[in-house]
Amino acid sequence: MARKVFYSFHYNPDNWRASQVRNIGAIEGNQPAKDNDWETITKGGDKAIEKWIADQMSGRSCVVVLIGAGTANRKWINHEIAKGWNDDRGVLGIYVHNLKNSEGKTSLKGSNPFDHVTLKSSGAKLSTIVKAYDPPGSSSTDVYAHIKNNLESWIEAAIAIRAKY
30, 60 in Cβ contact below 8 A?
A: yes
What are the per-10-residue average pLDDT scores of the chain (165 residues)?
88 92 75 68 93 96 97 98 97 97 96 96 94 96 96 97 95
Looking at residue 88, what is its pLDDT?
Answer: 97
Beta pairing class for 62-67 and 28-29: unpaired
6, 92 in Cβ contact below 8 A?
A: no
Question: Count of CB atoms within 10 A of residue 49's CB?
Answer: 18
CATH number where 53 lies: 3.40.50.450
158, 92 in Cβ contact below 8 A?
A: yes
| d(C-alpha 157, C-alpha 92), whole Å | 9
Looking at residue 40, what is its pLDDT?
Answer: 85
Looking at residue 30, what is its pLDDT?
Answer: 66
Looking at residue 5, what is its pLDDT?
Answer: 94
Angstrom CA distances, 68 to 1, 19, 100, stand at: 29, 13, 11
Looking at residue 34, what is its pLDDT?
Answer: 59
Looking at residue 29, what is its pLDDT?
Answer: 65
> Which structural domain, as residue segments, surrounds residue 41?
4-163
Q: Bridge partners of 93?
A: 65, 132
Looking at residue 2, what is its pLDDT?
Answer: 72
Looking at residue 8, what is its pLDDT?
Answer: 96
Looking at residue 3, what is its pLDDT?
Answer: 86
Angle at 63 between CA 158 and CA 32, to 5 degrees: 155
Count up the domains in the chain and report the number: 1
What DSSP string runs through 102-144?
Answer: TTS---PPPPPGGGG-B-TTT--BGGGTS-EE----SSHHHHH
Looking at residue 128, what is its pLDDT?
Answer: 97
Q: What angle, rounded to 10 degrees, do the helices at 45-57 and 75-86 form? A: 50
| d(C-alpha 69, C-alpha 49), whole Å | 23
Looking at residue 37, what is its pLDDT?
Answer: 74
